[in-house]
Amino acid sequence: MADIKKLQKKYQDLLDKDYPEFVIGVDECGKGSWAGPMIICGMAWFPWHQLPEMDDSKKLSRSKIRHVANVLRLTTDIPWIMAIIKPEQIDRDGIEDAWHQGVAHVIQMLRLKYDEHGSLAVVDGNKLPKYDAGPGKVVAMPKADSYCPAVQAAAIMAKNQQLQEMMMLDEMYPGYGFEENAGYGTAAHRTALKKLGKCPAHRSTFRPMKDMKGG
């Protein structure tokens, strides 16, 4: 397990060295889901500014995620951009390449629109995008949603968007429990697949859908 204090110190050392005007935080939600889109959010943020209610999105309830996302959207003057990667693109390009495209896109667009100086971009995890993300440094930092406010904000926005997308898909394709399971492979979701087969919201290249006929 990653040592959060060591990672946080590494991040602080990076800020002390580069002293960026702001940090672009990038995180995704829904990468491992069986259904629905993968959401990638990039959010520009002052390096250590943090709203009192912000935290690792995995530690927040759904109601808290909605609340904080609304605060971020409505009461802060911080630029952000979202990439919504549909199942069709995931099936066409593969989940990893779709991730690389989405991460590079949100960083590049934020830099193009708001960032003339190429400020630091922090991607949650241990991989860098293989596509051009524009001028400026991009670093991958494991567990960044535990200590980097910019990534925390991006993660909350991405999770909130994914939950909204899955609520809409639940109405379109009832019976799979998309609102409850957010597209992930729960036991109930697997049971529904056996009963109903796959639907257009599912990722056909993912198992168990890949082994099914129809849909």
User: Tell me, what CATH number does 12's domain have?
Assistant: 3.30.420.10
Does residue 13 lie within any of the structural domains? yes
Does residue 129 lie within any of the structural domains? yes
Question: What pLDDT does 119 receive?
Answer: 80
CA–CA separation, 116 vs 168, rounded Å? Answer: 37
Domain containing residue 62: 4-173
What are the percentages of helix, strand and coil residues in the chain, rounded to 5? Answer: 50, 15, 40
Residue 150 in this model has a pLDDT that exceeds 50? yes
pTM for this predicted structure:
0.92
Q: Which of 8-22, 91-105, 193-207 shows the lowest per-residue confidence on average (mean pLDDT)?
A: 8-22
Encoding tokens for residue 176? Answer: 């799979």
Question: What pLDDT does 215 receive?
Answer: 44
Q: Which residues of 69-105 are buried (b: 16+ CB within 10 A; e: fewer)?
A: bebbeeeeebbbbbbbbebebbbeeebeebbbbbbbb
Residue 1 in this model has a pLDDT that exceeds 60? no
Domain count, the chain: 1
Does residue 147 lie within any of the structural domains? yes
> Could you report the per-residue pLDDT of 162-186, keeping only the tens digit for each?
999 999 999 999 999 999 999 999 9
User: What number of other Cβ atoms are within 10 A of residue 180's Cβ?
Assistant: 13
Q: What is the mean pLDDT of residues 145-165?
A: 94
Encoding tokens for residue 165? Answer: 């997308």
Question: What pLDDT does 18 receive?
Answer: 79
Residue 55 in this model has a pLDDT that exceeds 80? no
| Nearest to 114, CA basis, from 80, 89, 137 | 80
Work out the percent of the chain whose per-residue pLDDT is above 70.
Answer: 93
Residue 195 in this model has a pLDDT that exceeds 60? yes
Question: What pLDDT does 214 receive?
Answer: 53
Does residue 188 lie within any of the structural domains? no
Residue 22 in this model has a pLDDT that exceeds 90? no
Does residue 193 lie within any of the structural domains? no
The answer to whether 110 and 79 are in contact (CB under 8 A) is yes
Residue 111 in this model has a pLDDT that exceeds 60? yes
Does residue 206 lie within any of the structural domains? no
Does residue 21 lie within any of the structural domains? yes
Residue 47 in this model has a pLDDT that exceeds 90? no
Does residue 209 lie within any of the structural domains? no
